[in-house]
Structure 1
């Protein structure tokens, strides 16, 4: 039987608003490793709709070029 890992982005004070927080390098690294170790990802409707943008980057190479060449 496989492990099921559930994760939720939440601040220590219980805030779950993805627009209110700041994701630093360590948070990005943590979730990159977590997602990289999974075999499947299950999203709810809202998160799926948010993630749909990233799927379009794999199809639209011009958008991908613009995204990866942003100034620091």
Structure 2
């Protein structure tokens, strides 16, 4: 299964906060796993952990069917 990457913009929207707030308050404890130029990304699994642990966002386990 390929790795799904979540950008800083996407992660901050899913958490319901501004990305500058995420950078200032949470980035040091949750560093991105990938840097491409000035873009930062986390794996989907790590993004879900961040959303659940820091923001209390409920994550539903959904299996993806390959058609």
TM category (shorter chain) comes to under 0.3
Which structure carries more strand by proportion? 2
TM-score of the aligned structures, taking structure 1 as reference length? 0.27
Name which one, 1 or 2, has greater alpha-carbon Rg: 1
TM-score of the aligned structures, taking structure 2 as reference length? 0.28
Of structures 1 and 2, the one with the larger relative CO (CA 8 A, separation 6+) is: 2
Which structure carries more helix by proportion? 1
